[in-house]
Amino acid sequence: MGKKVDDSVLDGALNEIKSNCDRMTLCEGEPATFAEANTDKGTGTNKKLADVIMAAGDFTIANGDTSGRKVTVGAKSAVDVDVTGTGDHVALLDTVGSRLLYVTTTSAAVNVDAAGTVDIQTWDIEIADPS
């Protein structure tokens, strides 16, 4: 039996991120909760090293690289670092709803120093067509 999904169904998930993400954080380790991703590393299980404000214009929805659909998350340059550490995950947050929307690994871990800056490269979230 064949499977098919309309682009609007996949776009619904991607638009949830585009419409509601208002902060991206660089984390040391994978945050499991909104609080871990949104609170400076150093106490408990908190993971955040740096954060930057996001807006709908930072996200572009298009056809996926292989199939389906994707949202491209725009690069951010000279993001202020709050805590020294090794950034290996990025998290997309909805601070209004206190939601951890999406977490992924970085393409390469980066050592950052407090009071310095870090560049976060463009990356994609892709949802494949069913097969």
Positions of E strands within 7-128? 23-27, 48-53, 59-63, 69-73, 76-80, 85-94, 99-112, 117-120, 123-127
Assigned domain for 110 exists: yes
pLDDT score recorded for residue 5:
96
Domain span holding position 108: 7-127
pLDDT score recorded for residue 44:
93
Q: How many domains are contained in the chain?
A: 1
- Cα–Cα–Cα angle for 47, 48, 52, nearest 5°? 155
Does residue 2 carry a pLDDT above 90? Answer: no
Assigned domain for 1 exists: no
Assigned domain for 111 exists: yes
Q: pLDDT tens, 78-112? A: 999 999 999 999 999 999 999 999 999 999 999 99
Assigned domain for 11 exists: yes
- The pLDDT mean for the chain works out to 97
60's CB contacts (< 8 A; 6+ apart) are 71, 72, 74
Please give the residue that has the higher pLDDT: either 120 or 1.
120
Assigned domain for 103 exists: yes
Instruction: Report the Cα 21 to chain-centroid distance in Å.
Output: 9
Assigned domain for 38 exists: yes
* Percent of the chain residues topping a pLDDT of 70: 100
Assigned domain for 25 exists: yes
Residue 116 — pLDDT band, cuts 50, 70, 90? very high
14 φ/ψ sector (left φ>0, alpha ψ -120 to 50, else beta): alpha
Assigned domain for 120 exists: yes
